Structure 1
Amino acid sequence: MRSRARAWVLGSLSVVVTAACGDSGGEESEAPAEDEVGSTDTDTETETGTETETDTETGTDTGEASLLRTVTVTLDGEPVEGATVIQGGTGEPYFTDAAGQVVVTLDDTIPGDLALMATHPEARTIGQSVYVDPALAQDALLFELTRIAVGDNELYPYSPPGVPGDNGTTAECGHCHVRMKLDWYDSPHRQSASNPAVQDVYAGAAAALDDQASCEAAGGSWWSGLVPGSAEQAPRCYLGAGALPDLNPDCGQDAACDTVATEFGQCADCHAPAIEGPAGGRSLLEATGTAYEAGVHCDLCHKVEGVEPGAAAGVAGWLHLNRPLERSDKIGLGEWEVLTFGPYVDVPNPRMGASPRTHFLTGEFCGSCHQLDQQALVPGTSLDPGRWPEGTLPVHSTYEEWKAGPFGDIAPCSSCHMPAETEYANSADLTADFFAMQGVARGWVRPPGATRRHSWVGPRTPSSGMLELAAAVFIDASVEGGVLTAELTVRNVGAGHAIPTGEPLRSMLLFVSARCGDEALAAVGGDVVPDFGGALDRQPSPADWSSWPGAEVGDVVRVLDALGWVDYEGFGPFGDGSFDAAAKGLPRYGFVGQATVVAVNGDQVSFDQPLPAGDLAVRGRPAPLSGGDATVPEAVAGAPGFGFARVLADAEGATMAPHHRAVDVRSDNRLLPQTEWTSTHLFESACAEPVVEATLVHRAYPVALATERGWDNPQQVMVEVSL
């Protein structure tokens, strides 16, 4: 009989890594020639890494026996039970017994390096070359693991991810993980610290007002302060509410709080978690360099050794960091022993210092910053214990929404927000061009879906289509007695959490109109866009509705009737029976009529038609389906339609307040997963078969706040439908 043996001589694994992934100015090493990667059969055994075939006349079957290996794993010199042993490229783990041993069957058909790895949650993964040629094969293999020093090294400097177009050296994560770097670079995570809106709300500033004249004309103060991302001071515009002036009442009246504040809120714990030094409790303005430019980045997330759901958000408690404490003796790998926590058990590359953790595959990891239950933060304010007996407000609750929803047990956050990688075979961008280099340095081919793109797509990634997939709108209409009744149902069909979710300044607005041919039909009743849709002014009856200070031609005044409260099913106490309709806090108004301002004389205005009687008049701008632009947010409260939002209120009663000021969740009618809401709208109809049109949009910020600060405020169309 003829037996076939394969001999592989890899040398030390560190040599393989140096050859394939060295610090040579970012240059990728060339792929080895075909006869260097074990692809050529010969008739003699060699030690050059090529396959060999050997004829035997004895009839002895050595194939299966030669594939068995006894592996012993120790941890700090003692046999360890439950250690994982795996052959690279197989995806099939073995686990050691109480004696630290396991018998492994090798698969000699795996392309690339034949290597075994051993790992344990308390140690870094290590690997060894293995041989199936009986002349070279090891009968037993010993893996000596060393415990990771437990703790967090505040002296450790985070490694930068790198930037597109420059692969740098292995000191940057993006040197090897190029696709992940590119995805991350375009994601909101990179901008978590540098986002101008975040910095503005933090300091009470308006970066868009970049000269003294425009700043003071808007009512701001032109003071010297810290430039975000820099230790430098320069004149800046300070305007409106901010975490620093609100939380530090002794500053902010005559000068900026930037350098004197002592209370920082919890902003940096999630928005700039990689500020070097102590983790948690830092000022967002301490973020400079990588901490500012990279926000939430690779080396931060992959230094998380564990999670503690329910603890303080971010690096203040929920995320347990373990920056390496051991000094390195390896040339070119930095001052500290490399350490990377990740989801895989089969990463032996010494440049990674990998240790496996399952939390990267769960929603609990994401919940660290996407769940924030907050006390009253502004000095002198408090929560109503009758409404909030636990003493906290659900400010960000995406994690809890997902956990309680139908996807909580089957689809973690990464299922949607980190799409499966379809172009590359693993996280080190292994492609067909490099399949011959599978192994310790470049990794092995992973099963489809095992590698996820690090893009974190969502509403701030319009090209992802996530918003369009989140909701559906259905129309049911009938005409009777010259009145069209349209029922609009909005359903959360695609999201595993509420929509909208996350930042409570977000909202989702529905606009409804009707026409006979090209003739628009007048709305005569039905539901309207709530107050969080924005208003330029409001006047209750019996005020003089011909006087509107600041009005302009083209403004629309909408007249509404007060109809009590909207009784909806929302998140937490807004849906679990704790609150009645009034406590749920969303006023219900019915549309009566509207008129457009056609002339202005001082405070007096003239309309294109008389205003009807009603309980409340709201001045705003045309809605998207009545001459407005669906992509431009305007003050549209009271327009025929509806809306969904979590509405925070501050101690002065102002709604849609930045969450650091919040003392109440006034209302929360956002749509939970697989739930729906139906609104009703009435129009005069001069035809038997009118057309009903609806547009659902997602709005990033309230109009008034975005206008005050000069922010870009994209309003994205989610659904357009007609019947």
Structure 2
Amino acid sequence: MVKIILLMIFLCLCSFIMLTQQGQPVSGIVVSSADLTPVAGARVRFPGSNDFVLTNAQGEFTLFTDKPNGSFVTLAAGKRGWFNKRRLFAVGQNDTIKMDPLPEEDNPDFIFQSPAFCRNCHAGLFNQWSESKHARATTNSMLKQIYNGTDVNGNPGVYPGFKLNFPNEGGDCGDCHAPSAALRTPGNTEMNDVWNSNSIDTAGVFCDFCHKIDDVEVNYATGVNGSIFVKRPFPHKRDINYGQFDDVTTDWMGGTYNDVYEKSAFCSGCHQYANRYGVIVDDTYDSWAASSFAAQGLQCQDCHMRPNSDSIFAGGIAAADAVARDTNRVYSQFFKGTTPAFMDRSAKLAVEKTITQNRLSLKAMVTNVGAGHKLPTGVSFRNMFLVVKAENNGQPLAQLEGDTIPFYGGVGDPAEGNWSGLPGKGFTLFTRNETTGESPTTNWFATEIIYDSRIPAGKTDTSSMLFKIGKNALANVQIQLVYRAVYKAWADAKGWDMREYVMIDTAFQIQFDESVREPEKYALHQNYPNPFNGVTRIKYDVPENDQTVSIKIYNVMGQEIRTIENSSKNAGQYTATWDGKNSKAQTVASGLYFYRMIAGKTIQTKKLLFIK
């Protein structure tokens, strides 16, 4: 009995401590202003706080504050489909937040506000957007030239050009590049009319348009022509401005929480689409959805709109009504993508090199480590190259076999950036028009995909090359990974800057050693040291190129412990290592083990002894 009483006292003390730590309760109910029915699933928080609670099925909620009973606090509530609402609450007393539902209809006659209007309150964010590609989505000179089929000097008839293929159509470019205009003519917006209009439609992808997006359906439609859906207010009604904040409660602004602004689905509206022939010419969203980034919950916004110290919450005339938030919750409006910082961390290069007799073998492994989608991604004419230069005394080594750069790397003088036929590889979404035979072709004219050599997120592409090298020669090797925004031949014809960027640049020297002989047969050598208690090395010989070699460790029961080698090798001598751990990175027991090599039709097994 005494134990029960002591337990009850302990539980009461715990409850008291918890309540003391939580503070005083602020409770209430969220209802619809239209019919006073409870609003379940509404987010309620102290404005600016990182934490919120959700209302239950009865619309009820409780928050805690360190302020005393009888004092006043402000709460904000938001839910998708409702205008955000704030309310002054007395601590210790229940109260009600009445939320207004959004109108059901869109006003197609709405006239969008200029971005300059938004600058009055959000100067910092406006300045970021002004430097972004979204701000130039309509007025970009390359867009004009690729749309009309002109070069940088305005000369007509220079391919590629949408109007050269479809002279009597407006096309779907405007669905993403001039979305406010395309809302009136989805799928067939005449861009020349937009450029001549001197209207809000030339502002690109701007503030008021984006914050009027009610929903984005993940599909293969282009922008406002079936993927992006907006809701615009009617005259003399409250404005509508969607966003990721549920505590933007300025009445005239019409702030409304919408969780799609925090998801990659929002970006899919213009970064995934199929053309008129049903060819998916931009699969950025799909490739993200299949990646480990998506599995970890990392969204497009987490990388391309990463908050920074310049993500200012408000200023100007709205400063008095603004909410000071954690800047980690405020997205940057630079919309960074193919910038040096992004490109530098997107890929990793590993190189294996062997030299035997008069042959230099190189294996280059490019891994997409930092892009949460294929590399490269976006419109189909973006391309990337692995460029390998192997020389002796300034003269290129003769390539005997292996990967070479395809013709879209540029035909002509290598000194002018033409790499076709040189050692290396190209990465692109290679398309063709079956009627004309044109390949590669543009995203609007492609009737089929010939191949997709881009590197998915987290995956590795391997290239192999074999060169002839003279006796006692010193080979100088340079390997670069280079991004180009457009195909070389098109850039030359148009007079464009390809926006070429060297993502990786590595160089090394390798000396031909006449004493090193190419193996005549497969051989698995005895490990050294043996016995061992740290790391042991296992040498093996491969006499042929492009042979898959597997080396596995087994215990005396014949159970597989670990695979220490499983890859394709060219002719040469190699070394594998084992650190005495199994496939789960656990140190194995002391004792006798076997290691087995399988290469081609050859199987060889030897013993080793591990001692802790």
Partner in structure 2 of residue 401 of structure 1? 287
5+ residue gaps in structure 1? 1-60, 163-171, 216-236, 249-260, 329-335, 377-391, 536-619, 623-627
- TM-score normalised by structure 2 residue count: 0.72
From 466, 483, 497, the equivalent of 1:712 is 497
From 120, 123, 136, the equivalent of 1:178 is 123
Q: Percent identity of the aligned residues?
A: 26
Deviation, structure 1 residue 681: 2.2
* 1:244-299 superposed Cα distances (whole Å, 9 cap, x missing partner): 34234xxxxxxxxxxxx3x3222111111122762623222332445454211111
When residues 161 and 152 of structure 1 are mapped into structure 2, their CA distance, relative to the original with a 3 A threshold, is: same
Indicate yes or no: 2:175 matched with 1:269: yes
Indicate yes or no: 2:113 matched with 1:204: no
Q: Secondary structure at the match of 1:105?
A: strand
Partner in structure 1 of residue 533 of structure 2? none
When residues 416 and 92 of structure 1 are mapped into structure 2, their CA distance, relative to the original with a 3 A threshold, is: closer
From 30, 35, 38, the equivalent of 1:80 is 38
Deviation, structure 1 residue 337: 2.2
Amino acid of the structure 1 residue aligned with 2:77: A
When residues 490 and 65 of structure 1 are mapped into structure 2, their CA distance, relative to the original with a 3 A threshold, is: closer
Partner in structure 1 of residue 413 of structure 2? 621
Q: Secondary structure at the match of 2:390?
A: strand
**1:143-292 alignment to 2 at 5 Å?**
143-162=97-116, 172-206=117-151, 208-210=152-154, 215=155, 237-248=156-167, 261=168, 263-275=169-181, 278=184, 280-281=186-187, 282-287=189-194, 288-289=197-198, 291-292=200-201
When residues 107 and 192 of structure 1 are mapped into structure 2, their CA distance, relative to the original with a 3 A threshold, is: farther
Structure 1 CA distance for aligned equivalents of residues 206 and 149 of structure 2:
26
When residues 640 and 711 of structure 1 are mapped into structure 2, their CA distance, relative to the original with a 3 A threshold, is: same
Structure 1 CA distance for aligned equivalents of residues 223 and 22 of structure 2:
51
When residues 515 and 277 of structure 1 are mapped into structure 2, their CA distance, relative to the original with a 3 A threshold, is: closer
* 1:520-541 superposed Cα distances (whole Å, 9 cap, x missing partner): 4422323210122122xxxxxx
Q: Secondary structure at the match of 2:125?
A: helix
When residues 484 and 423 of structure 1 are mapped into structure 2, their CA distance, relative to the original with a 3 A threshold, is: same
Q: Secondary structure at the match of 1:315?
A: coil
Q: Secondary structure at the match of 2:344?
A: helix
When residues 514 and 105 of structure 1 are mapped into structure 2, their CA distance, relative to the original with a 3 A threshold, is: same
Partner in structure 2 of residue 56 of structure 1? none
Amino acid of the structure 1 residue aligned with 2:211: H
Indicate yes or no: 2:359 matched with 1:359: no
Deviation, structure 1 residue 660: 1.2
Structure 2 CA distance for aligned equivalents of residues 153 and 141 of structure 1:
35
Q: Secondary structure at the match of 2:321?
A: coil
Amino acid of the structure 1 residue aligned with 2:47: G
Structure 2 CA distance for aligned equivalents of residues 65 and 664 of structure 1:
64
When residues 444 and 642 of structure 1 are mapped into structure 2, their CA distance, relative to the original with a 3 A threshold, is: same
Q: Secondary structure at the match of 2:267?
A: helix
Amino acid of the structure 2 residue aligned with 1:152: D
Structure 2 CA distance for aligned equivalents of residues 678 and 312 of structure 1:
34
When residues 238 and 114 of structure 1 are mapped into structure 2, their CA distance, relative to the original with a 3 A threshold, is: farther
Q: How many residues align?
A: 479
When residues 641 and 339 of structure 1 are mapped into structure 2, their CA distance, relative to the original with a 3 A threshold, is: same
Indicate yes or no: 2:486 matched with 1:701: yes
When residues 80 and 691 of structure 1 are mapped into structure 2, their CA distance, relative to the original with a 3 A threshold, is: same
Asked if structure 2 preserves the Cα contact closer than 8 Å seen for 1:84 and 1:118, the reply is: yes
Deviation, structure 1 residue 404: 0.9
Amino acid of the structure 2 residue aligned with 1:125: N
Structure 2 CA distance for aligned equivalents of residues 280 and 128 of structure 1:
41
Indicate yes or no: 2:84 matched with 1:125: yes
Deviation, structure 1 residue 144: 2.6
Structure 1 CA distance for aligned equivalents of residues 223 and 217 of structure 2:
10
Deviation, structure 1 residue 107: 4.5
When residues 276 and 264 of structure 1 are mapped into structure 2, their CA distance, relative to the original with a 3 A threshold, is: closer
Greater relative contact order: 1 or 2 (C-alpha under 8 angstroms, separation 6 or more)?
1
Partner in structure 1 of residue 574 of structure 2? none
Asked if structure 2 preserves the Cα contact closer than 8 Å seen for 1:279 and 1:315, the reply is: no
Indicate yes or no: 2:358 matched with 1:449: no
Partner in structure 1 of residue 370 of structure 2? 494
Indicate yes or no: 2:272 matched with 1:371: yes
Structure 1 CA distance for aligned equivalents of residues 62 and 367 of structure 2:
54
Amino acid of the structure 1 residue aligned with 2:399: V
Asked if structure 2 preserves the Cα contact closer than 8 Å seen for 1:523 and 1:681, the reply is: no
Amino acid of the structure 1 residue aligned with 2:99: L
Amino acid of the structure 2 residue aligned with 1:449: N
Deviation, structure 1 residue 338: 1.4
Amino acid of the structure 1 residue aligned with 2:463: S
5+ residue gaps in structure 2? 1-18, 509-612
Deviation, structure 1 residue 339: 0.9
Asked if structure 1 preserves the Cα contact closer than 8 Å seen for 2:26 and 2:94, the reply is: no
Partner in structure 1 of residue 313 of structure 2? 427
Deviation, structure 1 residue 423: 4.7
Partner in structure 1 of residue 381 of structure 2? 505
**1:230-629 alignment to 2 at 5 Å?**
237-248=156-167, 261=168, 263-275=169-181, 278=184, 280-281=186-187, 282-287=189-194, 288-289=197-198, 291-310=200-219, 312-325=221-234, 327-328=235-236, 336-376=237-277, 392-409=278-295, 410-424=297-311, 427-428=313-314, 441-446=321-326, 449-459=328-338, 461-462=339-340, 465-516=341-392, 519-525=394-400, 526-535=402-411, 620-622=412-414, 628=415
Asked if structure 2 preserves the Cα contact closer than 8 Å seen for 1:160 and 1:299, the reply is: yes
Amino acid of the structure 1 residue aligned with 2:104: V
Asked if structure 2 preserves the Cα contact closer than 8 Å seen for 1:521 and 1:683, the reply is: no
When residues 419 and 65 of structure 1 are mapped into structure 2, their CA distance, relative to the original with a 3 A threshold, is: closer
When residues 81 and 636 of structure 1 are mapped into structure 2, their CA distance, relative to the original with a 3 A threshold, is: same
Structure 2 CA distance for aligned equivalents of residues 238 and 515 of structure 1:
41
Q: Secondary structure at the match of 1:479?
A: strand
Structure 2 CA distance for aligned equivalents of residues 504 and 679 of structure 1:
22
Asked if structure 2 preserves the Cα contact closer than 8 Å seen for 1:508 and 1:698, the reply is: yes
Asked if structure 1 preserves the Cα contact closer than 8 Å seen for 2:313 and 2:325, the reply is: no
When residues 453 and 346 of structure 1 are mapped into structure 2, their CA distance, relative to the original with a 3 A threshold, is: same
Amino acid of the structure 1 residue aligned with 2:484: R
Asked if structure 2 preserves the Cα contact closer than 8 Å seen for 1:70 and 1:102, the reply is: yes
Structure 2 CA distance for aligned equivalents of residues 64 and 405 of structure 1:
40
Structure 1 CA distance for aligned equivalents of residues 102 and 159 of structure 2:
48
Q: Secondary structure at the match of 1:122?
A: coil
* 1:641-689 superposed Cα distances (whole Å, 9 cap, x missing partner): 1111111112211212121111111221111112122222233334365
Asked if structure 2 preserves the Cα contact closer than 8 Å seen for 1:73 and 1:101, the reply is: no
Partner in structure 1 of residue 427 of structure 2? 644
Deviation, structure 1 residue 372: 0.8
Amino acid of the structure 1 residue aligned with 2:386: L
Deviation, structure 1 residue 497: 0.7
Structure 2 CA distance for aligned equivalents of residues 92 and 175 of structure 1:
29
Amino acid of the structure 1 residue aligned with 2:498: N
Asked if structure 2 preserves the Cα contact closer than 8 Å seen for 1:338 and 1:352, the reply is: yes
When residues 91 and 309 of structure 1 are mapped into structure 2, their CA distance, relative to the original with a 3 A threshold, is: same
**1:97-108 alignment to 2 at 5 Å?**
97-108=56-67
* 1:473-531 superposed Cα distances (whole Å, 9 cap, x missing partner): 22211211122122222221111111111011111011112245x54442232321012
* 1:390-412 superposed Cα distances (whole Å, 9 cap, x missing partner): xx212000000110111123211
When residues 502 and 86 of structure 1 are mapped into structure 2, their CA distance, relative to the original with a 3 A threshold, is: same
When residues 93 and 285 of structure 1 are mapped into structure 2, their CA distance, relative to the original with a 3 A threshold, is: same
Structure 2 CA distance for aligned equivalents of residues 319 and 371 of structure 1:
12
Structure 2 CA distance for aligned equivalents of residues 294 and 269 of structure 1:
14
